[in-house]
Amino acid sequence: MPALSIGQVAESSGVKVPTIRYYERIGLLAVPARSASNRREYGPDAIQRLRFIRHARELGFDIEAIRTLIEMQHHPAQSCEQADEIASAQLATVEDRIQRLTALKGELERMLTCCRHERVRNCRVIETLADHDKCLHEAH
């Protein structure tokens, strides 16, 4: 297969060119060979790696977790316990975020329910934002 340009790799992987350069800079993606004209030349493995990274980022994994998961791929016979731990930690983070967002949603709904569309001086939205003690959710 002929070498691919950074634009072709970006299009095939769904990862933007500046992000590809960033991943190269931080070592998540191998720095590609250069052509005689100094153009980056990628192989199909770069597309697979970028798709892996993109999917992991979409699921909320941080860069260090992704780095560890990529490194694990180089040792296919080892236990995947560490991968399970990384995924479990991410799940806990997502569950915590969902709880906080649910509480925030409830507070916003209460603010809007109590607002009677009168004047700003009687606006429950502004009152609640001005006095945090008027929030009912536990995370304040």
Average pLDDT on 118-122 reads 72
pLDDT tier, 59 (very low <50, low <70, confident <90, very high otherwise): very high
Q: Pick the most confident of 31-45, 102-116, 120-134.
A: 31-45
Q: Is 14 inside any structural domain?
A: yes
Q: CA-to-CA distance for 23 and 31, rounded, in angstroms?
A: 9
| Average pLDDT of the chain, as a whole number | 89
Provide the CATH number for the domain around residue 37.
Answer: 1.10.1660.10
Q: Does the pTM of the predicted model rise above 0.85?
A: no
Q: Is 110 inside any structural domain?
A: no
Q: Is 20 inside any structural domain?
A: yes
Query: Which residues have C-beta within 8 Å of that of residue 9, sequence separation ≥ 6?
Result: 15, 20, 42, 46, 47, 50
Alpha helices (runs of H) in 32-123, residue ranges in sequence order: 44-58, 63-73, 81-114
> Are 67 and 27 in contact, with CB atoms under 8 Å apart?
yes
pLDDT tens digits, one per residue of 67-117? 999 999 999 999 999 999 999 999 999 999 999 999 989 888 888 887 777
More confident residue, 125 or 27: 27
Q: Identify the domain containing residue 48 by its residue range.
A: 1-61
Q: Is 2 inside any structural domain?
A: yes
pLDDT at residue 113 in the model: 80
> Are 138 and 124 in contact, with CB atoms under 8 Å apart?
no
The total number of structural domains that make up the chain? 1
